[in-house]
Amino acid sequence: MSLSVQQLGPQMTRRLAELESEIEGGLRSFIRVGQALREIHDQHLYHAEWDSFGAYCRERWALSRSRAYQLVDAAEVCEALASTTVDTMPENEAQARQLAPLKDRPAEMLAAWREASAGADITARGVRAIVITHLSQPPTPSLAISANGAGKHASEGSEADSGPENAWAGEVEATIGGSRTRVETQIAEVAALLTARGFDVSTEVRQT
């Protein structure tokens, strides 16, 4: 059963109206549209009239759920890039969306964008080709992007890479000669192609 607009409460109802005005005005600004959709999704504001986020996107905006997630991904890519000192930001959602498969590898996402934006003619197809090249290689050591765009190894002042998941990954790769990395790379490359074509996919590999 859907929640009624009264059940959202006046503050949340006002916020929903504000966010929807951003979307309505915007498909002028894909970043704001993606940010608005993300907040509506995360705060469950779509429950004003709809049971699910997918139904809300489809009936309110004529967007598929996967298309809405593409806009959210593109906004998050731009947010990540904006925290660095890149000279050029993606000009449109199509360019930004191609970088989404590297969101969990921020240093490589930054490097891929710098490579793509170095040329005079930046195209979504060109960005995608560079991203696929990065995905076809084993991940670089975990890096954090600082404000000046420089990378810092996660082991510098952090124990993040010493957890059981990484220990398990190292044990498996030592046992089977790195085949897990090759499989993950192939999955990620296929996921990048599917994401670029509008599919909602996950490339997470879980321990069983």
Residue 175: burial class (beta carbons within 10 Å; 0-12, 13-18, 19+): exposed
pTM for the full predicted model: 0.59
Predicted pLDDT at 201 = 57
How far apart are alpha carbons 70 and 29 in whole angstroms? Answer: 14
The strand pairing partners of 153, in sequence order, are 143
Residue type, position 192, single letter: A
The pLDDT value given to residue 41? 96
Residue 198 has pLDDT above 50, yes or no: yes
Q: What is the 3-state secondary structure (H, E, C) of 9-73?
A: CHHHHHHHHHHHHHHHHCCCCHHHHHHHHHHHHHCCHHHHCCCCHHHHHHHHHCCCHHHHHHHHH
Contact between 116 and 122 under an 8 Å Cβ cutoff? The reply is yes
Amino acid 144: pLDDT: 44
